[in-house]
Structure 1
């Protein structure tokens, strides 16, 4: 069968039905409709009805027609709204003949408003005995067949509106996501954090190592960059005296697409004056356990076949110690003359100048990260990997930084913030040199940020939490595309 031709015929027939409805004085694309109940609440209120019992209260509900069963002078149908589905029942002797006739022209996918009484069928199903109904919107296109549904992930992501119609479990993911965002705000607001907004278009991208998207402002005759992170702007606010700030930000990175990466994503970033990376570990643990308990009702969940226990305290291990346990190698004891040999021995993907930090990072990602299933804080990263972090007092080759890993995914990156303007300038200069040598993801020099630090930024801790990856965990989703309403996709 030619699917395109068949679809065109269906749409043509539906337009003819719409014209017929208009000739009869019926608006196929209705107006405001006031409901007395959402379907879930209606079912909950009447769950104790006895079989055959009928209420005296007239109810008004609305939703999309999802199933239709005609039996001569009687019609059974299912209508669905955002949080529930209910059966409706129309009998020709209980409704005006022309109204019954009109209902016989209704199709699956149409949006209806109905009013009537509630009763429970012999099979124990809550049902609305329809007395009146209103056509609120005529659907022109057919929904996927009931038993086949919408399974093709490519179509699901490209036509998310259709995915949401026919897959209630997908709706639940995004309802849950909304609750998570609200819970984050409640948690931080109750701890006197101030929610702020910082620029999405930035003259200098910063706050992360990534390739930015470039856009052009015609009136100013200059290029801007979509932000890769809000970090440097949020820390300017610490300089200005706002001691506890956070932003739920949309960030943009011109990188590859995978099950864990989307070029447009959501982050929580927060900063606390007079804190450090230990403060950030504490608030990370408290926030995530609060979210898991609040949203899922338990600190033990299953994700992709693994049971994950969020009960604190979570494991803490230094990056170098984790590498030593995994491969038996003391990264801090390797001499520079052995760098090339180590890269070759462990088949590490390092281009250009080799340093201890890049060796550690490659070894960690290859041999340690896949083993980190339970919540684990990995601490104390090499200086070379962390241009915005404060060095450790007892070992200036390392910085006070941690990343949180759960189910082999990095979920949080946090550190004690560098507030020495001279040292920050020196590190920016190193990044600029790397950029000039061909590293397109290195940091730019942000002179205004250096100037801000020269006014004095209090000691502080900061963190970034990936909301999309968190939602993957909380919904047992194996791809980031499942938890982003409209993910970026390749052209058809």
Structure 2
């Protein structure tokens, strides 16, 4: 089928929507940047799978082809710009994740990512809330901690619960499956419970920020100085969609290296391929990343909400099935 996935009317609305985003940042003197989609390194997160390719130009000169990765987000390159003195920056770009297609997922999608030197996670949440009100005419957002979301919805404490206790919650709600029964990673169980039982409840009438995720779920965020069980990571939810993932960014190069290495150890334990650690990012952190907060937002999902569309392919010029 050669026709576009979205109607031409929708694509015109999409162009206007992106223009509004650019105006929002221009008014705040945040510079737009572009960074490469291909990189020699990629994310180590066990929950993110990158597309990999090889550089054929090296075949004649070397017996080893150079591996390259399509980026799951422009984060690492943008942090290198911050370390070089860019000041506040944003980017609208294509990102790629090797995941199944679905109502809210296309392997190639459009991401908005921005960084604010001098901001912490709370200040950045305020700016995101302003953007949401501008683009979607939402009510001011609700804000709650990750612990609070579990306590108020399910009356369990995610920071102290055991694997057995989490499986009891899953069984109580008749969601148990063989893979969950055999799961030994608490974070995987917590993520399943959050996606299945909490996300459908929060952020219905107004957007909802959830912050202070468990430290083990925030490899790129600073730990909270008042409770090192949690990190300064937040997510934004609205009408059954996860829209944003943000951090009070980790600036310690040694700590970041340790977290990347821990990720790769987890990959090995799960029989997943390890990923090359981005040494250029670590060098930038060593040089000095300014204290900053950053966030990534899926533009396609925002536009789905704006135009009341039920499937991501309705806001894409061509989804994967038509490429």
CA deviation vs aligned residue, 1:288-316 (integer Å, no higher than 9, x gap): 21123xxxxxx2xxxxxxxxxx122x111
Tell me the distance in 1 between the aligned counterparts of 2:103 and 2:167.
Answer: 32
Question: In the alignment, which residue of structure 2 is the partner of 1:353?
Answer: 184
Instruction: Return the offset for 1:444.
Output: 4.3
Instruction: Return the offset for 1:352.
Output: 4.8
Give the conservation status (yes or no) of the 8 Å contact 2:90–2:113: yes
Q: SS at 1:361's partner residue? A: helix
Tell me the distance in 1 between the aligned counterparts of 2:171 and 2:215.
Answer: 23
Asked which structure has the greater RCO (Cα within 8 Å, sep 6+), the reply is 2
Instruction: Return the offset for 1:172.
Output: 1.9
Give the conservation status (yes or no) of the 8 Å contact 1:339–1:354: no
Instruction: Return the offset for 1:443.
Output: 6.0
Tell me the distance in 2 between the aligned counterparts of 1:187 and 1:392.
Answer: 30
Instruction: Return the offset for 1:273.
Output: 1.0
Give the conservation status (yes or no) of the 8 Å contact 1:228–1:251: yes
Q: 1:446 aligns with which of 278, 284, 309?
A: 278
Instruction: Return the offset for 1:441.
Output: 8.2
1:466 to 1:442, Cα distance in 2 relative to 1, 3 A: farther
Question: In the alignment, which residue of structure 1 is the partner of 2:21?
Answer: 184
Tell me the distance in 1 between the aligned counterparts of 2:170 and 2:279.
Answer: 36
Q: SS at 2:159's partner residue? A: helix
Q: 2:51 aligns with which of 213, 228, 253?
A: 213
- 1:61-80 aligned at under 5 Å gives the runs none
RMSD: 2.3
- Does the alignment pair 1:172 with 2:6? no
Question: In the alignment, which residue of structure 2 is the partner of 1:461?
Answer: 293
Question: In the alignment, which residue of structure 2 is the partner of 1:290?
Answer: 134
Question: In the alignment, which residue of structure 1 is the partner of 2:262?
Answer: 430
1:440 to 1:189, Cα distance in 2 relative to 1, 3 A: farther
Give the conservation status (yes or no) of the 8 Å contact 2:121–2:234: yes
Give the conservation status (yes or no) of the 8 Å contact 2:248–2:292: yes
Question: In the alignment, which residue of structure 1 is the partner of 2:61?
Answer: none
Instruction: Return the offset for 1:213.
Output: 1.2
Q: 2:193 aligns with which of 363, 376, 384?
A: 363
Question: In the alignment, which residue of structure 2 is the partner of 1:196?
Answer: 33
Question: In the alignment, which residue of structure 2 is the partner of 1:400?
Answer: 232
Give the conservation status (yes or no) of the 8 Å contact 1:432–1:445: no
Question: In the alignment, which residue of structure 1 is the partner of 2:62?
Answer: none
Q: TM-score if structure 2 supplies the norm length?
A: 0.89
Tell me the distance in 1 between the aligned counterparts of 2:188 and 2:212.
Answer: 14
Instruction: Return the offset for 1:206.
Output: 2.4
Tell me the distance in 2 between the aligned counterparts of 1:433 and 1:344.
Answer: 30
Tell me the distance in 2 between the aligned counterparts of 1:437 and 1:402.
Answer: 27
Question: In the alignment, which residue of structure 2 is the partner of 1:263?
Answer: 107
Question: In the alignment, which residue of structure 2 is the partner of 1:106?
Answer: none
- 1:23-172 aligned at under 5 Å gives the runs 158-161=1-4, 170-172=7-9
Unaligned runs of 5+ in 1: 1-157, 165-169, 293-298, 300-309
- Does the alignment pair 1:311 with 2:139? yes
Instruction: Return the offset for 1:336.
Output: 6.6
1:365 to 1:200, Cα distance in 2 relative to 1, 3 A: same
Tell me the distance in 2 between the aligned counterparts of 1:344 and 1:354.
Answer: 17
* Alignment: residue pair count: 310
CA deviation vs aligned residue, 1:210-254 (integer Å, no higher than 9, x gap): 111122211133121111111011111111111211110101111
Tell me the distance in 2 between the aligned counterparts of 1:430 and 1:288.
Answer: 35
Question: In the alignment, which residue of structure 2 is the partner of 1:488?
Answer: 320
Structure number with larger C-alpha Rg? 1
Instruction: Return the offset for 1:397.
Output: 1.2
Instruction: Return the offset for 1:383.
Output: 1.2
Instruction: Return the offset for 1:467.
Output: 0.4
Instruction: Return the offset for 1:430.
Output: 0.5
1:275 to 1:444, Cα distance in 2 relative to 1, 3 A: farther
CA deviation vs aligned residue, 1:35-81 (integer Å, no higher than 9, x gap): xxxxxxxxxxxxxxxxxxxxxxxxxxxxxxxxxxxxxxxxxxxxxxx
1:324 to 1:443, Cα distance in 2 relative to 1, 3 A: farther
1:407 to 1:339, Cα distance in 2 relative to 1, 3 A: closer
Instruction: Return the offset for 1:340.
Output: 5.9
Moved over 4 A (4+): 335-346, 348-352, 441-444
Tell me the distance in 2 between the aligned counterparts of 1:335 and 1:214.
Answer: 36
